[in-house]
Chain A
Amino acid sequence: MTVPLNAYLILAAVLFTIGLYGALSRKGAVLVLMSLELMSMAVTINLVAFSSFVTPIDMTGQFFTIFAMVVSAAEVAIGLALVVAIFRTTATIELDDLDELKG
């Protein structure tokens, strides 16, 4: 008996959770983005696992994963560019300091 599906799913869940914890608790903008990437990867693991177990011939999940990765990459690129731009205008990327929406 090989690895059951649940194992992969639980792994993905754990990674997702850890990534969530990081996204919620880290104070630096880049760190938060990194955590978000972790969550994204967990999701892709999930997708591929399902593809392998449920639709191995169609490989639907894998295709989905490709596109998800594309989007994720674009998102990271833009996010990091944003962070750099913010750093240039405000000289800080601490989320605690960027509270202009306060009130």
Chain B
Amino acid sequence: MPDLTQIVFGVIALAMVVAAVAMVQTRNVVHSAYWLFANAVLTAAIFGMLHANYVAVIQLLVYAGAVAILTIFTVMLTLRHPDFATRPREFNLFSLLLAGALLALIVLALFTSPEITQQQVQEFPGVREFAIKMFAPDGWALPFEIASLILTAALITAVMWTHQLSKRRPVKKNYRSKGNEE
């Protein structure tokens, strides 16, 4: 009889997989974004189960809060007509086989590797410990700073690419194919 933890894990895992499949399967781009959002939330739950509280929160903030929302914005921005939200079916056997092969490989490698048991710990470190370790000079302070630099660079880049000073530049080539006309 599986215990509670396992049942919870099972449910969350199942939900995640369903959400993921739905995300890559749905014909509606907005729906796709929603399913990504769902996945992000569920991932945070998994982090929680793994006693990584801080990471779970960050996950919610960043992925669920920022990334997913950004994605929805972009979908909206690049949709010329609401009718274009529904796309034609996109199934590719080759990709499926590839993915399947990769999964098989990973599983095979997993089951042929030695077992790793959980370290017995009295108590898992909390946020406080996490913060101490993060900002310790011999800890993760430097990478932290570099990370902030990366974010800055990304910010500037994104702004550069998307801001419009002057009038809209005309389209040079007819990129639109028949498929998108409907």
B165 within 8 A of A: no
Mask of A8-26 contacts with B, CB within 8 angstroms, 1/0: 1111011111111110111
If over half of A's interface residues share one DSSP class (helix, strand or loop), that class is named, otherwise mixed; here it is helix
Contacting residues of chain B (153-174) with chain A, CB-CB under 8 angstroms: 153-155, 157-159, 161-162, 164, 168-169, 171-173
Residues of B within 8 A of A (CB): 3, 5-6, 9, 13, 16-17, 20-21, 23-24, 29, 32-33, 36, 39-40, 43, 46-47, 49-52, 54-55, 58-59, 62-63, 66-67, 70-71, 73-75, 77-78, 80, 87, 90-92, 94-96, 98-100, 102-103, 106-107, 110-111, 116-119, 121, 124-125, 129-130, 133-134, 140, 143, 147, 150-151, 153-155, 157-159, 161-162, 164, 168-169, 171-173, 175-177, 179-180
A-B contact pairs, 14 of them (CB 8 A): A5-B118, A16-B106, A20-B99, A35-B23, A35-B24, A45-B46, A52-B50, A53-B118, A63-B134, A65-B52, A76-B71, A85-B161, A91-B80, A91-B171
Residues of A within 8 A of B (CB): 1-3, 5-11, 13-22, 24-31, 33-35, 37-38, 41, 44-45, 48-49, 51-59, 62-63, 65-67, 69-78, 80-85, 87-94, 96-98
